[in-house]
Amino acid sequence: MQEEEAGRIQAALLGWYGRCGRKLPWRARRDPYAIWVSEVMLQQTQVATVVPYYERFMERFGDVGALAGARLDEVLKVWQGLGYYGRARRLHEAAGVVVREYGGQLPSEAGALVKLPGIGRYTAGAIASIAFGRDEPVLDGNVTRVLCRVFCIRTLPGLGATQRRLWQLAGALLPAGQAGQFNQALMELGATLCSVVGPACEECPLGEVCGAYGRGEQERLPRRAARKAVPLKREAVGVIVRRGRVLISRRPAEGLLGGLWQFPSVAVDAGEAAADVLGVKVGEQVGLEVEAAEALGVVRHAYSHFRLRMEVFLCRARGGRVRAAGQDKGAGRVYKWVRLGALEDYAFCRASEKVMAMLGRRGV
C-alpha cells in the first residue's frame, strides 16, 4: 500500500466519521474503564442491543472498584439477557486484578492489557487507542469486512495468513496520533454502511478506493466458510416444587453459561422418553427421589453452535436430601430452594427465563 493511498483513506474516513459518527454513551466519555466495559459488551453483540445494558451496568458499577467489590451473582444479574456470559465473568475477574495489581488504574499499554482476563488483541488495541491515544490497530468483524472489500482480499478471513495480512493493513493505515478516532471510524463504517448484506456503497466515503466495489464483488467479500450443520440437543427440565419453594441450581463457574442459575436438567438421548430420564437422572444428580408429575410444555432456544429443545415437567420430590455443593454428578453445581416469587432476584440464562415465563402462564 502506497503512502498516498493510505493518506486518502485516512482523510476520507476521518472526515466521514466526524460528520456521521453515531452519538453513543461510551463515546462521550474518556474514562478508560467506561471504554473497556463498552468494548467487552460490543464483542459479538450489536450496538443497539448493548446501549441499554451498558447504561444500566455503568449506573450500578460506576468504576472498576465498584465492579471488583461486587459479587459475581450481582454482575451476572445486571448482565442478564446480554448473552455470552463468559464476558461478564472475565470482566469481573479482570476488575479484581486491576484493583489488586494496578491500584485501580487500567494499564495503558496493549501489551499489559492483553494479559488481563477477557482482553484479547483486538480489545487491547481498542482500549489502548481510544482511551489512551496509543497507535494500536484493531481488527474485529466490522474492520475485517471493510479491509477485505477495500483491498479485495479473496482468501478466507479466518486463515492465519489472511489474519496476518489484515493486521498488517490495519496497522499501516493508522494516522499517527489519531489511532483512536480512526479505529472507531473503521468500526463505524463496518457497522453501518459496509454491512454484511446490501452495503450502501454509493454513500461510502471509501467507494472511490474500494477494490470490491470497483469490481462489483462487494456482496461476495469477505469470503465465508461453508456453514456446518447446527446440531439439536434435547434436555429434560425438572421444576421441583416443595412447600412453596422451587429448586434451582447454579452452573459451574467455567464453561457455557457459567455461574448462572437454572432449573435442574439432564440430557435426553435419541429414543429416550424425557419423563423417564428426568425421574432417574435428575434424582441422581440432585440427591432427591424425583417423579415427573405433569408435562408443562416444550421450550426451544438457539445458541450460536447448537439448538436446544427443553421438555419441561412439574416434579414431585418424594424423599431424599439435596446434595451439598461439589457432591453432585456435575461437579461444581450449587442447589438452592427459592420462593417462587423470588426467582427474579437470580441471574438466569435466556432459556431458563422462557421456562419461568411458562410457569407464570400456567400459574405455578
Structural domain for 9, as ranges: 3-215
Q: Are residues 237 and 350 in the same domain?
A: yes
Residue 329 confidence class, pLDDT cut points 50, 70, 90: very low
**So what's the pLDDT on residue 320?**
66
Q: What is the pLDDT of residues 47-56, one digit of tens each?
A: 999 999 999 9
Q: Which position among 3, 39, 59, 208 bears the catalytic label? A: 39
Q: Are residues 67 and 197 in the same domain?
A: yes
Q: Are residues 17 and 69 in the same domain?
A: yes
Residue 261: give its domain's CATH number. Answer: 3.90.79.10
**So what's the pLDDT on residue 3?**
80
Residue 96 within any structural domain of the chain: yes
Angle between helices 72-79 and 86-102 (to 10 degrees): 130
Q: What is the pLDDT of residues 200-218, one digit of tens each?
A: 999 999 999 999 999 999 9
Q: By CB neighbour count within 10 A (0-12 exposed, 13-18 middle, 19+ buried), where does 279 fall?
A: buried
Q: What is the pLDDT of residues 106-126, one digit of tens each?
A: 999 999 999 999 999 999 999
**For residue 260, which of 363, 333, 185, 342 has the smallest C-alpha distance?**
333
Residue 90 within any structural domain of the chain: yes
Rounded CA-CA distance 347/353 in Å is 9
- The percentage of residues in the chain with a pLDDT greater than 90, rounded to a whole number, is 64
Residue 221 within any structural domain of the chain: no
* Total-model pTM: 0.85
39 catalytic residue (yes or no): yes
Residue 359 confidence class, pLDDT cut points 50, 70, 90: confident
**Number of domains into which the chain is organized:** 2
Q: What is the pLDDT of residues 155-179, one digit of tens each?
A: 999 999 999 999 999 999 999 999 9
Asked which of 215, 246, 263 is the last residue of a domain, the reply is 215
Q: Are residues 46 and 178 in the same domain?
A: yes
